[in-house]
Structure formats: structure tokens, C-alpha cells
Amino acid sequence: MEHIPILRMGEFLLITVQVDMHDRLAMKLQDDLTERIVRFGSRGVLIDISGLEIVDSFIGRMLGNIASVSRILDAETVVVGMQPAVAITLVELGLELPGIRTALSVERGMQILRREAELAGLEVLKDANMEEDGNPPE
């Protein structure tokens, strides 16, 4: 079944949304992500939406749900890479994405997550190995 890949980077999870998701795919991503946070005890989630040409109320609600559920599971969510035209449209639509932290780039999003994790008194691996879908590294 089609799915959006979730990369594990040390304490964090990284999702890059590159396709125009239909609603069921968006719901599946939400479920998969929740399961991963619990399984790996992840401290942060970074969602790169630079590949998304629109964010409508459904995707906006999904991002909000991910942020709320993550918070309850003690993980921070940062959404990065929103295209300017998407941001302008969201504001006019009336969607303010409350409770969602945003950053301009993956780099800056990671900085936020690292800082949050450090504040929480955690040891964060600076050069975390990338592993797809949480398979153990070679």
C-alpha cells in the first residue's frame, strides 16, 4: 500500500511530503507517525512540506492533529519549507495553524528540535545516522 516514508534520525523523525496526498493517505501518515513516536520514543518530528503546492483545511487539520498528538507523547513538531504562495493562501483562507511551530528550512527546523531536546536535558547525537523506517543501522 502506498505510504509517505518516515525517516528516523536519532531522537527525531523526518517526513518529507512530496506528493499531493489524498485524504486517506494523509490519515495514514498521521497514524503511522503516532505509532513511530511511541515505538522509538522520539523527541521531535520534522515535517518538510516544501514539496506541497497547496495546504487546504484538511491538510492543515492533519498538521494540527500531528502536533497535538506528538505533544501529548512528549515530542515537539516543526513544520518547515512552506511555500510563500501557500502561506498567503492559508492566511486568507483563515487557517492559522495554532500550536504548530514553523521554520523556513530543514536546517533551522532541526536547530529548534535540538534546542528543545537539550532544554529537556537530553543527550542529542549531533550526527545522527539516517535510517529508513527505523531499521537498525548496518
Partner 1 sequence: MEILQSDVLQIRQPEDIVLVRTAVRKIAIASKLGLVDQTKLVTAASEIARNTLDYGLGGEVRVDMVRDARTGVRLTFTDEGPGIPDLERAMTDGWTSGKGMGLGLSGTRRLMDEFQIASKVGEGTTVTIAKWSR
Judged by the rule CB under 8 A, the positions of this chain that interact with partner 1 are 20-24, 53-58, 60-61, 83, 85-86, 88-89, 92-95
Rank residues 58 and 118 by Cβ distance to partner 1 and give the closer one: 58
For the CB of residue 81, give the shortest distance to partner 1 in the complex, in Å: 15
Rank residues 34 and 42 by Cβ distance to partner 1 and give the closer one: 34
What secondary structure, in 3-state letters, does the chain show?
CCCCCEEEECCEEEEECCCCCCHHHHHHHHHHHHHHHHHHCCCEEEEECCCCCCCCHHHHHHHHHHHHHHHHCCCEEEEECCCHHHHHHHHHHCCCCCCCEEECCHHHHHHHHHHHHHHCCCCCCCCCCEEECCCCCC
For the CB of residue 40, give the shortest distance to partner 1 in the complex, in Å: 29
For the CB of residue 89, give the shortest distance to partner 1 in the complex, in Å: 5
